[in-house]
Amino acid sequence: MTAAATVSGVSADDPAWAAAVPRIGRSFRFQWEPAQNCHVLLYPEGMVRLNQSAGEILKRCDGRQTWSAIVTDLETAYSATGLAGDVAAFAGMARQQRWIDWD
Neighbours of 22 (CB within 10 A): 25
**Number of domains observed in the structure of the chain:** 1
Where residue 53 sits, what CATH number does that domain have? 1.10.10.1150
Beta bridge partners of 62: 23
Inside any domain, residue 28 = yes
Tell me the per-residue pLDDT of 2-35, one tens digit each, with 9 for 90 and over: 444 455 678 999 999 999 999 999 999 999 999 9
pLDDT for the residue numbered 8: 63
| Domain boundaries, position 49 | 24-97
Inside any domain, residue 5 = no
Inside any domain, residue 19 = no
Higher pLDDT, 73 or 9: 73
Q: Would you mind telling me the total number of residues written for the chain in this entry?
A: 103
Tell me the per-residue pLDDT of 37-59, one tens digit each, with 9 for 90 and over: 999 999 999 999 999 999 999 99
Inside any domain, residue 9 = no
Identify the three-state secondary structure at position 6.
strand
pLDDT for the residue numbered 103: 82
Inside any domain, residue 102 = no
